[in-house]
Amino acid sequence: DMIMYEPPKFWELGKVIVEKREAKKQQALGLEESKQKFKTTFERLGVNYSELNKKEIENYKQNWVATFSPCGANKKEIKKLCLSKRKYTPFLWHIFSFDFLTSEKDPSVCYNNADKTKCVLISNVDEIGFVLCDAEKLTAEILNDFIDVTISDKTFSWTYCKTHESMCGPYYYKK
């Protein structure tokens, strides 16, 4: 026998609404915990930072994809993989894992040696982003404490992606 989905009765809707509200509250708490972990790390290292809002994070991601998409590449496909929330979970580092961009050898070493005077760090799993100043002490080893991040200098001359996947990344690219 096939069981069909039965929508909740009108008297059960209150419970559903309360459950959804509680889930959103928990999600917000998790987001705040993640933000605080970044901030604590920056402060411990003496890195100056300012937080980006959702619109700034979205603009940054759009600019990142536009800047790092190679000439002649299928930009629509890259946007779908890196930005669209429809078919895939979007990660900026998909530009590397789907072979649109090739990482430097020894990405962590390259990143550690990069000029981090002014850069932007984005979490790929939360709507969290920061503009960083004097982030030289923010090494690849320290970024391993975070789930999935992309960091680039302010002018997009280089980017480093630390992924949550053990068989993907890290990736580093310099223009």
Work out the pLDDT band at 87, boundaries 50, 70, 90: low
pLDDT at residue number 8: 67
pLDDT at residue number 23: 67
User: Residue 164: in which H helix or E strand, if any?
Assistant: none
Gyration radius of the chain's alpha carbons: 19
Q: Full-prediction pTM beyond 0.75? A: yes
pLDDT of 79 > 90? The answer is no
The three-state secondary structure class of 40 is helix
> 93-107, pLDDT tens digit by residue?
999 998 999 999 999
pLDDT at residue number 41: 97
Averaged pLDDT, 44-70: 95
Q: CA–CA distance from 123 to each of 23, 32, 34, 102, 162 (Å)?
A: 21, 13, 9, 21, 10
> 118-141, pLDDT tens digit by residue?
999 999 988 899 999 999 999 999
- What are the φ and ψ backbone dihedral angles of 11, each rounded to 5 degrees? -75, -15
Q: CA–CA distance from 131 to each of 38, 82, 86, 102 (Å)?
A: 12, 21, 28, 25
- Averaged pLDDT of the chain: 88
Longest dimension (CA), the chain: 64
User: Which DSSP category does 104 fall into?
Assistant: P
